[in-house]
């Protein structure tokens, strides 16, 4: 990627040569971004008593509270499911370059992303088949022009990045297979789940590796769960010919518990990390971002809670909503049906009770993911296909409220949010539930960068600073092209600060390139410190400043997003330009 900058027309050529100090210094770097809190965006859906979204409200109808304290809403937009971006008028090339202009394409960045996240690690084969079937039926209908969907799995073995190609999505669904790791601790004798192993080894410490055989047998006299596990193991571990089976019995139980712990921990961590990675990759997508997690839930020990909190943190900061669907549907709790795991004997009640507790914890986990990120938890319902449709559907109207937290402390604390209506009779409010405060102060430079970042990954166009865009390309081969983006900035809108004999201002110009699915491809961030003498400023005000960036890319359809911000007036421009390179 190459880049260069020029002052359009005659930017005082003789004056430039006489300067002892440069009037413009610049710094160029690849445009890389991270997610942080600056202006807090709060998506809100208002539904009537029939569940239909309402789109007739205005900013003054809303009240927003941060930790119970009322906040001033400084940003208010309404997103509609059928809303389309306006196509900016094409301008003539500022430089008069004779190279071939890029074909104009409608600059539509997708505004909605749905990630179908299948927990293939924990789902039973029959449940996975049902999930695939229900999702395939839903994906029979093509996505609208502004939506993209992706297929992801907790094992990361099957992945289809965001696309509107329905054939690719259905192909990815068909490739999802049950997870096989050699973990048969739930079908071995004795059977052992991750939860039961954690209770016996880590919570009650009765199966600690340090305990002797005699100690373990002694514990079994008072611990009903341990007694039930040992009792279940005896028929298949102890041959009738062996008089004293204690060593074999205890060894089998201890070995099974350690295997269950290891497999359970690996599977839980893998599931959490893949979800965390998915959230991270979605954080730089423009528009509405939703994960539909299809899972029976899974057990986590206390050691996993830090990973879980990190997921909540990332999702809330990035504005990613996690909707969850319990694939078990309306089911009979294992503790109520002895045939579920085939428990028998005197200890079957203790084992069934443990299974029931584990099933409840699994369900609670899915509820936590949804509640913490402002999502919906679909459970205790066998209408899986309808549930997927409900969780993946985009409301017809979404209000986005923005506010700058009042006297925000940089302590990394969680801030609960509440949105109400001044006259909200018979209306239901669905809104983001909270955000995390930053853990350090944000200086002017970082604040400016964050504001630019928000604008780059937004779809809105702003013209506080007039700019003109022109794109052109040169095909170097069938597989490679050079795309040039020229941005002419009108400096008349800037508020220069006079210091000594110079007129000072700083421009940040980001030229970003997105593919047709809204994925950020590459970009350049340029910072220009201007210290212009009066004569140079007069010329520049008449001619403008042109920034030219070049990208080496394969042919295809792209959306160019240019954002310009000045430091003195804090004004901004944001423009889209669609290009197609055949």
Domain hosting 170: range is: 112-182+262-392
Residues 6+ apart with CB under 8 A from 23: 16, 502, 530, 531, 532, 533, 536
Evaluate whether 393 touches 323 at the Cβ level (below 8 Å): no
List of long-range contacts for 49-56, beta carbons under 8 Å, 24+ apart: 49/426, 49/428, 52/396, 53/395, 53/396, 53/397, 53/398, 54/397, 54/427, 55/80, 55/396, 55/397
Instruction: Look at residue 548 and tell me if it is in a domain.
Output: yes
Residues 435, 6: Cα–Cα separation, whole Å:
42
Please check whether residues 423 and 317 belong to one and the same domain. no
Please check whether residues 27 and 52 belong to one and the same domain. no
Instruction: Look at residue 99 and tell me if it is in a domain.
Output: no
Give the CATH number, domain containing residue 519: 2.60.40.10
What would the pLDDT profile of 375-431 be if each residue is shown by its tens digit?
889 999 899 999 999 898 877 888 889 898 877 887 878 888 999 999 888 898 888
Q: Final residue of a domain: which of 369, 403, 436? A: 436
Region of 350 (left: φ > 0; alpha: ψ -120 to 50; beta: rest) is alpha
Instruction: Look at residue 215 and tell me if it is in a domain.
Output: no
Radius of gyration for the alpha carbons in the chain, expressed in angstroms and rounded: 30
Secondary structure (3-state) at 120: coil
State the average pLDDT over residues 11-29.
60
Prediction pTM value: 0.70
Report the alpha-carbon angle 92-108-566, nearest 5: 60
**Distances from the Cα of 559 to the Cα of 89, 95, 164, 261, 471, angstroms:** 15, 21, 16, 49, 11
Please check whether residues 57 and 25 belong to one and the same domain. no
Domain count along the chain: 3
Burial class (CB in 10 A: 0-12, 13-18, 19+), 411: exposed
Q: Final residue of a domain: which of 436, 463, 493? A: 436
Residues 267, 262: Cα–Cα separation, whole Å:
9
Run of H or E including 527: strand 520-532
Omega cis (within 30) before 102: no
Which of 104-118, 245-259, 322-336 has the largest mean confidence?
245-259
Instruction: Look at residue 228 and tell me if it is in a domain.
Output: no
Please check whether residues 351 and 272 belong to one and the same domain. yes
96: its two tokens: 């008069």
Quick one: pLDDT at residue 69? Answer: 93
Please check whether residues 18 and 50 belong to one and the same domain. no
Please check whether residues 432 and 543 belong to one and the same domain. no
Evaluate whether 494 touches 465 at the Cβ level (below 8 Å): yes
pLDDT tier at 465 (50, 70, 90 boundaries)? very high
Please check whether residues 387 and 347 belong to one and the same domain. yes
State the average pLDDT over residues 61-70.
94
Quick one: pLDDT at residue 243? Answer: 75
What would the pLDDT profile of 519-557 be if each residue is shown by its tens digit?
889 999 999 999 999 999 999 999 999 999 999 999 999
Kindly report the number of other CB atoms within 10 A of residue 420's CB atom.
13
State the average pLDDT over residues 486-514.
92
241: its two tokens: 């010919």
pLDDT over 70, % of the chain: 84
Please check whether residues 405 and 340 belong to one and the same domain. no
Residues 6+ apart with CB under 8 A from 126: none
Instruction: Look at residue 143 and tell me if it is in a domain.
Output: yes
Interhelix angle 224-237/213-220, rounded to 10 degrees, is 120
Give the CATH number, domain containing residue 418: 2.60.40
Quick one: pLDDT at residue 93? Answer: 44
Q: Final residue of a domain: which of 371, 406, 436? A: 436
Residues 288, 285: Cα–Cα separation, whole Å:
8
Instruction: Look at residue 88 and tell me if it is in a domain.
Output: no
Residues 6+ apart with CB under 8 A from 119: 153, 154, 271, 293, 294, 295, 296, 298, 327
Evaluate whether 343 touches 351 at the Cβ level (below 8 Å): yes
Kindly report the number of other CB atoms within 10 A of residue 216's CB atom.
21
Give the CATH number, domain containing residue 274: 3.40.50.410
Please check whether residues 63 and 149 belong to one and the same domain. no
Instruction: Look at residue 193 and tell me if it is in a domain.
Output: no
Nearest to 296 by CA among 138, 113, 125: 125
Nearest to 381 by CA among 334, 330, 331: 330
pLDDT over 90, % of the chain: 42
Instruction: Look at residue 223 and tell me if it is in a domain.
Output: no
Question: What is the CA 516 to chain-centroid distance, rounded?
Answer: 19
Please check whether residues 474 and 548 belong to one and the same domain. yes
pLDDT tier at 15 (50, 70, 90 boundaries)? very low
Please check whether residues 291 and 387 belong to one and the same domain. yes
Please check whether residues 562 and 462 belong to one and the same domain. yes
């Amino acid at each position: 990627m190459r880049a260069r900058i020029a002052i359009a027309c005659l930017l005082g050529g003789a004056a430039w040569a006489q300067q002892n100090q440069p009037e413009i210094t610049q710094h160029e770097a690849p445009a890389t971004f991270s997610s942080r809190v600056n202006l807090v965006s709060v998506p809100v859906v208002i539904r009537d008593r029939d569940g239909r979204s309402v789109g007739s409200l205005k900013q003054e109808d809303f009240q927003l509270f941060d930790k119970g304290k009322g906040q001033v809403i400084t940003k208010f937009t309404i997103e509609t499911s059928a809303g389309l971006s306006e196509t900016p008028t094409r301008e003539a090339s500022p430089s008069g370059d004779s190279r071939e202009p890029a074909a104009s394409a409608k600059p539509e960045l997708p505004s909605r992303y749905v990630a179908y996240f299948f927990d293939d690690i924990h789902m039973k084969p029959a449940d996975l088949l049902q999930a695939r079937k229900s999702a395939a039926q839903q994906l029979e209908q093509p996505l609208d022009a502004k939506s993209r969907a992706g297929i992801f799995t907790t094992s990361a073995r099957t992945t289809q990045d965001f696309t509107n190609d329905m054939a690719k999505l259905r192909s990815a669904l068909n490739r999802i297979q049950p997870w096989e790791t050699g973990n048969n601790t739930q079908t071995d004798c004795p059977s052992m789940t991750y939860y039961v192993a954690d209770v016996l080894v880590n919570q009650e410490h009765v199966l600690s590796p340090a305990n002797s055989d005699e100690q373990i047998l002694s514990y079994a006299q008072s611990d009903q769960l341990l007694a039930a596990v040992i009792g279940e193991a005896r028929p298949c571990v102890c041959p009738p010919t062996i008089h004293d089976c204690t060593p074999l019995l205890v060894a089998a139980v201890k070995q099974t518990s350690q295997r269950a712990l290891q497999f359970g921990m690996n599977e839980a961590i893998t599931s959490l990390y893949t979800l965390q990675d998915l959230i991270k990759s979605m954080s730089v997508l423009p528009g509405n971002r939703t994960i539909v997690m299809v899972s029976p839930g899974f057990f986590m020990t206390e050691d996993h809670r830090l990973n879980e909190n990190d997921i909540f943190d990332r999702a809330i900061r990035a504005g990613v909503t996690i909707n969850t669907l319990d694939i078990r549907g309306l089911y009979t709790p294992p503790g109520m049906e002895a045939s579920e795991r085939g428990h028998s004997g005197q200890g079957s009640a203790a084992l069934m009770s443990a299974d029931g507790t584990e099933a409840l914890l699994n369900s609670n986990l899915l509820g936590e993911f949804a509640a913490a990120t402002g999502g919906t938890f679909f459970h205790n319902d066998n209408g899986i296909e309808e549930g997927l449709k409900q969780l993946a559907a985009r409301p017809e109207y979404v209000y986005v409220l923005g506010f700058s937290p009042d006297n925000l402390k940089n302590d990394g604390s969680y801030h609960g949010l509440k949105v109400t209506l001044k006259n909200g009779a018979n209306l239901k409010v669905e809104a983001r539930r909270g955000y995390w405060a930053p853990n350090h102060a944000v200086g002017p430079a970082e604040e400016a960068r964050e504001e630019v970042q928000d604008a780059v990954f937004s779809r809105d166009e702003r013209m506080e600073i007039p700019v003109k865009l022109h794109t052109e390309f040169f095909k170097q081969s069938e597989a490679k092209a050079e795309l040039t983006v020229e941005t002419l900035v009108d400096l008349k809108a800037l508020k220069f600060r006079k210091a000594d004999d110079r007129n000072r201002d700083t421009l940040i110009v980001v030229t970003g390139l997105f593919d047709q699915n809204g994925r950020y491809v590459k970009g350049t961030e340029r910072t220009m410190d201007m210290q212009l003498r009066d004569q140079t400023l007069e010329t520049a005000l008449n001619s403008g400043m042109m920034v030219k960036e070049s990208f080496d890319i394969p042919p295809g359809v792209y959306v160019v997003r240019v954002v310009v911000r000045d430091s003195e007036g804090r004004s901004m421009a944001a423009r889209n330009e669609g290009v197609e390179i055949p």
